[in-house]
Amino acid sequence: MTPLRAPGLVALMLSMLVLVAGCTGQNNPTYTYAATFTEKTSTNPLSYQGYVEEGKVLNIYFQANTDNMTKVEVSLVWYDDTKDGCTDSLGLEVVASKQDLTYDPEQQVEGQSPLVVTVTVQPVPKVKRSNDHVALEDYLAGVTNTQGQGNWTIRVTCVDAQPNCPAPQEPDAGNGWVLTVTPYFFEGQVEDIE
Ligand SMILES: [Ca+2]
Ligand SMILES: [Ca+2]
């Protein structure tokens, strides 16, 4: 059976080559305009600071009101404040707004500084090309949304103030911390293309 199949296979491969050549040839439609998107972030991310006692959980409430939000990056940093040589182990949990569950709304990490949680809200929309400027303006208006907006809760925990400390010299009741919340969003525009 194999010798009979081979010519058919060659013909198939040849036709695929012709198809590929056709796709990359000069028959591409040309468009005048394109709706393109850029991912941006605020130049002033939100910043919080405080102190958490060992074994305690602090709730920080964040009101998300950014349009076209793509993701929110939450970062927690701290240092060995009592200089006991055993930098505290902290926990960071982000519970996103329940609006439009296209993402995992709860994420949790713990360990050493820095801890970072990034919650993806939605992808940046795809580029769209057309000769119709108004249609592209409509497309921009159509993809504008309030996804992910609402109340977010960020939890900061001191899991262990003296981790891996066989004989701590000083008592350590907890730790200071700095939290940074950075929302990202997409911005669309209609551009002239050649
Ligand atoms: Ca410590
Ligand atoms: Ca400490």
Cis peptide bond prior to 114, omega within 30° of 0: yes
Which of 178, 184, 157, 174 shows the shortest CA–CA distance to 93?
Answer: 157
Closest ligand to C-alpha of residue 175 is 2
pLDDT digits (tens, 9 = 90+) for 101-140: 566 767 899 999 999 999 999 999 999 999 999 999 999 9
Distance, in Å, from the CA atom of 156 to the CA atom of 58, rounded to the nearest integer, reads 5
Give me the domains of the chain, ranges plus CATH numbers.
2-165+173-192 (2.60.120.510)
Q: If you measure from the C-alpha of residue 114 to the centroid of ligand 1, how many angstroms do you get, rounded to a whole number?
A: 15
pLDDT digits (tens, 9 = 90+) for 168-191: 677 899 999 999 999 999 999 999
Give φ, ψ of 66 to 5 degrees.
-80, 130
Closest ligand to C-alpha of residue 160 is 1
pTM flag (> 0.75): yes
Closest ligand to C-alpha of residue 54 is 2
Lowest mean pLDDT among 14-23, 37-46, 53-62, 155-164: 14-23
88 close to 174: Cβ distance less than 8 angstroms: yes
For 14-28, b/e burial (b = at least 16 CB within 10 A) is eeeeeeeeeeeeeee
- Please name the helix (run of DSSP H) or strand (run of DSSP E) that holds residue 165, with its range, or none: none
Give the environment of ion ligand 1: residues with CB less than 5 A: 84, 86, 88, 161, 172
